[in-house]
Chain A
């Protein structure tokens, strides 16, 4: 089990690095995807080694939630682009125009 967990940890840290260095909105979404993916690998790993249906069920729900998150995130970025003409998140300092 250990190599799978180490791989997931490494993947999560790559995501953290991306999240901290990127300033482009879609780059940040990509980093979040990587981190969620790492968490899912952990769930599936524990489900495989410990048995039971709770692990894969939770992984399925996590997949559905991530898809919803990406849809809403991209809609927000599209709106940001229409208002500011750019998707660098540093430009979005105010909640209203």
Chain B
């Protein structure tokens, strides 16, 4: 039962990822990315991490996706949403990706001890406690970084020509 569910989720995830890369229209690509991220949230649920699944839906599907759709809308020229691709680049990219997958899959399959039974994920309570005790420094550094990213993106994107005003 679990295997069938995993197979279905994995197939949907990979198909959505392929569509998000391969679709001719950029808006469709971003929407397929949203589907990929939502399927990843389902995968987190299967891995017994409901808090991460919720965060994934809120941050990625709610935040990043919306941001990207806005990005596409703000930076498009009319009738210029088609994705350009050269055949040469395509075959090279496919070769590199296939070689990388072969290496990774080989390493995964030949590593011993990966079939150990699940030890069980940390509960949300444990995770929250660890965040505010063990990982407190990282937590605070992330908050400073988010503030920096916020200010940085506003400075970059605001409508003022730095060269002209000086």
Residues of A whose CB lies within 8 Å of any CB of B are 1-7, 9-27, 29-31, 33-34, 37, 40-41, 44-45, 47-57, 59-61, 63-72, 74-82, 85-88, 97
Q: What total of A-B pairs shows CB separation below 8 Å?
A: 234
B142 contacts A21, C-beta separation under 8 Å: no
Asked whether, in the complex, the Cβ of B127 is within 8 Å of the Cβ of A22, the reply is: no
Chain B contact residues, majority secondary structure: helix
Structural contact, B127 and A71, CB atoms closer than 8 A: no
**Once the chains bind, are A10 and B14 in contact (CB under 8 Å)?**
yes
B interface residue count range (under 10 / 10 to 19 / 20 to 34 / 35 or more): 35 or more
Q: Which residues of B contact A87 (CB under 8 A)?
A: 75
Further pairs besides A56-B52, A67-B63, A68-B145: 12, Cβ < 8 Å: A1-B116, A3-B6, A4-B6, A20-B92, A30-B20, A56-B49, A56-B122, A57-B134, A61-B135, A70-B67, A78-B74, A78-B157
Min distance, Cβ A82 to any Cβ of chain B, angstroms = 8
Between-chain CB contacts (< 8 Å), 18 pairs: A3-B10, A11-B13, A15-B21, A16-B97, A18-B21, A22-B85, A53-B126, A53-B127, A61-B135, A64-B146, A66-B64, A68-B148, A71-B149, A72-B156, A74-B68, A74-B71, A78-B74, A79-B157
Cα distance A64–B142 in the bound complex, in angstroms: 7
Q: Which of B88-118 contact A (CB under 8 A)?
A: 89-90, 92-94, 96-98, 100-101, 104-105, 108-109, 114-118
Contact residues in A for B17 (Cβ distance below 8 Å): 11, 14-15, 34
In the complex, which of the residues A16, A44, A61 contacts B138, with contact meaning CB atoms closer than 8 Å?
A: A61
